[in-house]
Structure 1
Amino acid sequence: MLTNYPLSPAEEAFLRDSGITKITSKIPYLIVDNFPKLGLMTACRFLEWAADNPNGVISLPTGKTPEYFIKWTQFLLENWEKKKGMEIREKYNLSQVKKPVLKDLQFVQIDEFYPISSSQKNSFYHYVNKFYIEGFGLDPKKALLINSDGIPLAQGKSYREIFPDFKVDLSLRFREAQSEAEKLKQESIYLIDKWCAEYEAKIREKGGIGFFLGGIGPDGHIAFNTRGSDLFSTTRLTETNFETQAVAAGDLGGIEISANRLVITIGLETIVHNPDAVAIIIAAGEAKAPIVKASLESEMTNLYPATVLQKLKAGRFYLTKGAGVKLEDSVERFYTEGEWTELKSERAVLDLCKKLKKYGHRVTLEDLKNDRYTALIPNLNEKTVNDVIKSISEKIERGLAEEKNEVLLHTGPHHDDISLGILPHITKQLHENSNTAHFAVLTSGFTAVTNTFVIDTLKNTKRFLDEGRIQMVRYDDFFDTGYKLKMDKDVYHYLTNVASGNAEERLRGLCHRVVRAVVFIYGVKSTMELRDQINEIITVLKNSYDGEKNPKNIQTLKGMIREFEEELVWAHFGVQVKNVHHLRLGFYTGDIFTEQPDKKRDVEPILNMLRDIRPTKLSLTLDPEGSGPDTHYKVLQATAEAVRQWGEEEDLSNFKIIGYRNVWFKFDAAEANVIVPVSLGDISVMEDSFTNCYLSQVNASFPSYAHNGKFSTLAKNTWVNQLSDVQLLLGKNYFYQHETAKVRSSHGLIFFREMDVEEFLREARELEKSTEGML
């Protein structure tokens, strides 16, 4: 037995599959290779439990995290006695389990924004009804749900009457109301508190939650129990913190909304009230690794809410390898299992420098022998650190190498991914005239543009039309063919006025492109029709709730705004519009769960682009674990298949693939095989181009939980921190005394991996195998 508590048969099978032989954390965990397989493991455990507890009380999560849990649960139930289902059941110890019947399970909703209409598709109430009550065939009469519309308030009024601005001031719990309106708010808050207490009591009347499944937030929150929550907390109306608001921004239409929206959540004590409960936290991706480590290896504390699972015999964490990478057990396995590699030596020495806060040239042989992991380096001697220094230096030399006569195709899942990932490297390539560069964004990216931004832009477009300042609409052929011409002129006009500092004319450049987009999308044939169409779009957006999925035409308009922004960035370097490609792959729909890439619809556009451009180098975001924004790994799958098919037509023996990461995921210096120095000038170009060109993103309506601001600042911080790590090994004098000016001027570093086709396809294939047969 590897843990303090016995595992279920399904868990034992997944543990055996993982090859893990030692677990020392305070809460048991299981690790799988990738995000889809995480869903399979969770589904197997759920169905195993449901078979034994047909009337049990369940509480399941919302959001994107449970996507594959839901899909695998439905797949296994539909294929229980079919070949594929039986193969999975046999492999994971479910062959003797009777097919579960879910209809009598009692569902408990974990949390909800407050206030929010239950009819909104971005409410958790709607999600629960769609994916669990309907999707799993549960009985709605046996469910405890959080419906904002049904919670009684003062004088029987609705929340729209009591809280017309959707803001609930919880200070009214403790202070005197200053007006009649505040008295109604105060009374309503007390009534909500009463409702929450009754909700808690109903859960306890059922005996507590029997099966709990939840994700974990970047601050460690489970449900909406954020960092600092009382370990004995119960169901309540509460505020959230920035990290939680940043994560919720995508659901609610921007941080401007989520920062002011309260939540109703079950408490930590609610989750663990039933001592026999199965409580599972699922986490995927290296971004979650620090909080997973803290939650699994810390004593029970309100700083890490998930530590409350230590109270349960069946408390578990289910993880992808990336999410578990910082665990002491994982670090131990990395260094002690399998053959010793150069990667292990580099990582061990780099980590030792950080642990000792010593520069590499000051690390002694005694230091190496005294460290648990550097002591494992074969043939350890006085030259060991120098060997690592030489290896890292060679990576920097590769990052300095001149590239000539290359056809470069840089791709990104979203607009700004390429820029935030490897812009300084691209800048160097573009300065060489013998190179040809193309840029391709593979999805529309419309979800990152707020309704407010579009409304404001359309109002300005109308103003310019009224003032006669969009002259192109007067040309006879404009509404037939003219709107397709001179796209580069819009870009040049815009950037000229960035240079001159003329914000009004810069805005006019954007509005020119918006006019072209509206004519293209809606097929308008006159200036009058154009005005009418703009008014109609504004009306639709004003009547939409925040976070609502837009009609397809408005999605296209938002996407074309983002496409213009991308063209602006590369025009900084003289790249023409024709060399910036917008693929708008069809799987990207704005739904909570996007489709898997389709081999015809989503692969053919990429394959045709490869055939047309015939690149010698291709860059892409490398997330083979499939754990981050789902667009990343779905684009990776489609690109890998296109490269594979192209390889059947062409000799790709000299074709290189650059795998980069940006603000969501990071390589360390040991993983990367190319390191590119970044100067203050490079940083300035990246930050300036982001601020001046990605207009829809400057206000950071959908920020990273790691930074309350622009992604460009987060990218800069990443590059600077990566320099600090390498500088500790190489020493500062390596940089400021280097013979190359580019290295002497470096104040940041970019890490990426250059691969051949075979290596790339091998990584991508592992992710594809994890979903085969299900979708």
Structure 2
Amino acid sequence: MESKVEQSFLKNSGDSPGNTQIPYLLVNNFPKLGLLTACRFLEWVAENPEGVISLPTGKTPEFFIKWTRHLLENWNSPKVKVLLGRYGLEGLKKPDMRGLQFVQIDEFYPIPSRQHNSFFQYVQKYYIQGFGLDYQKAQLINGDEIKLHQGKSFNEVFPEYQIDLSLRHREARNKQEEIEQLSIFLIDQWCSEYEHKIREKGGIGFFLGGIGPDGHIAFNIRGSDAYSTTRLTATNFETQAVAAGDLGGMEVSSNRLVITIGLGSILYNPSTTAIIMAAGEAKAPIVKASLENPVTNIYPATILQNLKNARFYLTQGAASLLEDQVFSFYKNGNWTLEKTEKAVLSLCQEQNKYAKNLEIRDLETGEFTRLIPHLSEDKVETVIKSTIQKLQRGLQQEENEVLLHTGPHHDDISLGLLPHITHQLQQNSNKTHFAILTSGFTAVTNAFVKEILFHIQKLIQENKIQMLQYDDFFSKGFQSKTDKDVYHYLTHVASDNQEEQIRGLCHRMVRALVEIFQVKNKSQLLDSIERMMEILNNSYDGEKNPPTVQQFKGQIREFEEELVWAHFGVKVKNVHHLRLGFYTGDIFTAQPEKKRDVAPIVNLFRKINPTKISLTMDPEGSGPDTHYKVLQAIAEALREWKKEKDLGHLRIIGYRNVWHHFEPSEANVIVPVSLGDLDVMENSFSHCYRSQVNASFPSYAHHGKFSTLAKKIWVNQLKDIQLLLGKDYFYQHESPRVRASHGLIFFKDMDVDEFLIHARKLEESIEGMA
């Protein structure tokens, strides 16, 4: 490797470049991924001060952007000098960014360039202004400036934002289609000229990108031509699901095309330094497919094999399925029970054989089982016994516990632990609390809010919100009887009365309006509704809402969370809404702060004095960014609480949900999930999380509700354990709970110190920016 950054990184880490079709470098977590990439980028810029660069948009480059700015702004500080030395940049003169020629990779179309969620604006804010690039040397995709037929705007040509690309190869059926067809041809011409400009520059010199769940590079989705150029094109579901968060929901992202540079655009310059970043276990399958397959249009990133300077920068989770990483897991370090468990399950899956039916010759010829020290059939029995112990832990009756279940967003706890929690709630000696640490407003669409406001107006006009007549309602009454709203709603879930369910929701949201706008009477209430309607009607999808709308959306989600736990008799006062301040609705949210974000958690710990705390485990920082930021905040809160109290008794329950999940060998507790549990999950999600039922912000892994995806994960986890224990273990078990198992939940039970070690690894990678 010619790069000093990469050489120094490999020397410090003790690794070597990954042995795959494209070399890769491995880091511990998402923030460190950004640091490595920033150093490599600045090294390239120093060598190519007038070079052509293409940098990515979205959330993936968060820490690349933050580290690049931090290094540039503090180049001569002692801390940064040490860091630069560690990455092979010692003595390097601060790069001058003004000579660089920027090429925008892609953009949604049509989308007004002025919108904050357009990539045009993103590039302006984070790269042109953020890095100090010269705007005059930038080649950008501004949809407003692409000429259409007769000089019309895209709003006139495509009034519903729908573009029928079949008009490229069929006759127009009417005058409107003829205008659209001629406009599409003009867009195609613009794309050809954009491509020509790239090639006039000699091609892209430094390309940095993420990789989509389908393997897309830029917006070159699965199946894209290896020699494709800049073009207007459609996307697939996976890509639309990822873009939904940027555009305000699937309703919008599925209704947009994209303009993207092609794979051929990236390859035009044979000397291009092309780096693909990927973080987290969810990316592991597509990373494996992209790095271990020959060039194929099924996996677009494989085309980078044709570039000698192509690299993948990966977190350990993203690399976890690569053959050399799997071998490294087994061959390096001490042999552990976890390795034995993983090896035996892998063999069972490969041979489609139950563990109890494995013979010694199977183990001796198995790729990984043959590595087990002192190999014998007894090793399989050890795995079976260990798995049974995990299941027995999941069956233990918990009594006299003070349980605090936490989640970054509303529905995270439910999607991760609901069947386990329902059994905890059946024990009257347990005291159970729930804490949602952010207000989660970004998951509520403007359309959903407008529908609620319409219903509130209608109910007020019909005098069906009787509490408005109470003398003290606008002074203090709006703060009471919140449990009544919940009970009213769920009573009419039981009677299947949709109209009354909406009325219960509207009652709660009237209370929210009074609180947010400090309403003093009915007239002001109606005025506040009109004001919010006006704001929403003048907003575009995906626009950052003003604080009042954010608060209203957040309280919708809070009511939904209260409804879920009220299924089991949990009072509203036991569902805590912390609304941590780092969660702002910006593309990149701030890091948690001690006073603003940690103190409220510590105060909750003091108030509740829990004996068990559950939290989402995202040690790489690879899921939604809220997850690892909440994990940081909780970890710091535990450190603070530990200063004043002995926490030797406290247990930490690390769970995962639809974004990433535990391998059986990683978890130490397994909880049975019955058909009844699955029904409760599906029904509670559908009835209570009304803002999420239509899956405006779905997972790319499932075209539908998160609850259905969670069920699918739990069912698949049962299949793995059945390979180890046998199906008969379940249907013949003495326990009805085990006999009723049709899914399983995995989680990790830790003491405080073990959890803090996990959390500390993530924090260390961010501290250099402090």
Q: Considering the TM-score relative to the shorter chain, is it more than 0.5?
A: yes
Shift of 1:96: 3.3
1:396 to 381, 391, 395: 391
Q: Within 1, Cα distance between the matches of 2:461 and 2:670?
A: 52
Shift of 1:729: 1.3
Q: Which runs of 5+ in 2 are unaligned?
A: none
Q: Within 2, Cα distance between the matches of 1:15 and 1:675?
A: 38
Partner of 2:531: 536
Shift of 1:14: 1.6
Partner of 1:40: 35
SS of structure 2 residue aligned to 1:601: helix
SS of structure 2 residue aligned to 1:188: helix
Partner of 2:154: 159
SS of structure 1 residue aligned to 2:31: helix
Q: Within 2, Cα distance between the matches of 1:500 and 1:628?
A: 38
Q: Within 1, Cα distance between the matches of 2:45 and 2:428?
A: 64
Deviates more, 1:43-52 or 1:7-16: 7-16
SS of structure 2 residue aligned to 1:602: helix
2:68 to 70, 73, 84: 73
AA matched with 1:742 = R
Shift of 1:78: 1.5
Partner of 1:269: 264
SS of structure 2 residue aligned to 1:77: helix
Shift of 1:615: 0.2
Partner of 1:207: 202
Partner of 1:517: 512
Shift of 1:22: 6.1
Shift of 1:674: 0.2
AA matched with 1:606 = I
Contact 2:616–2:656 (CA under 8 A) maintained in structure 1: yes
Contact 2:206–2:274 (CA under 8 A) maintained in structure 1: yes
Q: Within 1, Cα distance between the matches of 2:469 and 2:8?
A: 71
1:120 to 84, 100, 115: 115
Deviations 1:277-296 (A, max 9, x none): 10000000000000000001
Partner of 1:376: 371
AA matched with 1:162 = V
2:582 to 578, 587, 599: 587
Partner of 2:425: 430
**What pairs with 1:7-22 in structure 2 (closer than 5 Å)?**
7-21=2-16
Deviations 1:120-154 (A, max 9, x none): 00000000001000111111111100000000100
**What pairs with 1:73-472 in structure 2 (closer than 5 Å)?**
73-472=68-467
Partner of 1:741: 736
AA matched with 1:129 = Q
Partner of 1:639: 634
AA matched with 2:439 = S
Whether 1:483 aligns to 2:478 is yes
AA matched with 1:268 = L
Shift of 1:18: 3.0
Q: Within 2, Cα distance between the matches of 1:545 and 1:506?
A: 29
Partner of 1:627: 622
Contact 1:22–1:329 (CA under 8 A) maintained in structure 2: no
SS of structure 2 residue aligned to 1:136: coil
Shift of 1:542: 1.1
1:721 to 707, 716, 720: 716
Shift of 1:97: 2.2
Q: Within 2, Cα distance between the matches of 1:708 and 1:697?
A: 13
SS of structure 1 residue aligned to 2:595: coil
Shift in CA distance, 451/22, structure 1 to aligned 2, threshold 3 Å: closer
Shift of 1:773: 2.7
Q: Within 1, Cα distance between the matches of 2:351 and 2:571?
A: 50
Deviations 1:161-194 (A, max 9, x none): 1111111110110111111111110000000000
Shift of 1:23: 2.6
AA matched with 2:619 = P
Q: Within 2, Cα distance between the matches of 1:237 and 1:773?
A: 41
Partner of 1:711: 706
SS of structure 2 residue aligned to 1:611: helix
SS of structure 2 residue aligned to 1:749: strand
Q: Within 1, Cα distance between the matches of 2:84 and 2:104?
A: 29
Shift of 1:20: 2.1
Partner of 1:3: none
Q: Within 2, Cα distance between the matches of 1:664 and 1:22?
A: 28
TM-score by length of 2: 1.00
Partner of 1:774: 769
AA matched with 2:467 = M
Contact 1:602–1:638 (CA under 8 A) maintained in structure 2: yes
SS of structure 2 residue aligned to 1:411: strand
Shift in CA distance, 327/7, structure 1 to aligned 2, threshold 3 Å: farther
Q: Within 2, Cα distance between the matches of 1:15 and 1:515?
A: 59
Q: Within 1, Cα distance between the matches of 2:12 and 2:444?
A: 43
Shift of 1:588: 0.1
Deviations 1:28-69 (A, max 9, x none): 000100011000000000000000000000000000110110
Partner of 1:473: 468
**What pairs with 1:547-586 in structure 2 (closer than 5 Å)?**
547-586=542-581
Shift of 1:16: 2.4
1:500 to 495, 515, 525: 495
Deviates more, 1:71-80 or 1:480-489: 71-80
Shift of 1:9: 0.8
Contact 1:368–1:374 (CA under 8 A) maintained in structure 2: yes
SS of structure 2 residue aligned to 1:260: coil
AA matched with 1:649 = E
Shift of 1:462: 0.6
Q: Within 2, Cα distance between the matches of 1:166 and 1:539?
A: 22
Shift of 1:631: 0.1
Shift of 1:651: 1.1
SS of structure 1 residue aligned to 2:597: coil
Contact 2:717–2:743 (CA under 8 A) maintained in structure 1: yes
Whether 1:700 aligns to 2:684 is no
Contact 2:402–2:611 (CA under 8 A) maintained in structure 1: yes
2:52 to 50, 57, 61: 57
Deviates more, 1:77-86 or 1:420-429: 77-86
Q: Within 1, Cα distance between the matches of 2:693 and 2:8?
A: 48
Root-mean-square deviation over aligned CA pairs: 0.7
Q: Within 1, Cα distance between the matches of 2:34 and 2:213?
A: 20
Q: Within 1, Cα distance between the matches of 2:183 and 2:706?
A: 39
Q: Within 1, Cα distance between the matches of 2:128 and 2:651?
A: 48
AA matched with 1:512 = H
Deviations 1:518-562 (A, max 9, x none): 000000111111111111111110110111000011000000000
Partner of 2:660: 665
Deviates more, 1:501-510 or 1:530-539: 530-539
AA matched with 1:612 = K
SS of structure 2 residue aligned to 1:626: coil
Shift of 1:7: 4.1
Contact 1:659–1:753 (CA under 8 A) maintained in structure 2: yes
AA matched with 1:445 = G
SS of structure 1 residue aligned to 2:559: helix
AA matched with 1:637 = Q
Shift of 1:265: 0.1
Contact 2:17–2:24 (CA under 8 A) maintained in structure 1: no
Shift of 1:322: 0.7
AA matched with 2:288 = K
Shift in CA distance, 215/669, structure 1 to aligned 2, threshold 3 Å: same
Q: Within 2, Cα distance between the matches of 1:7 and 1:344?
A: 36
1:651 to 642, 646, 652: 646
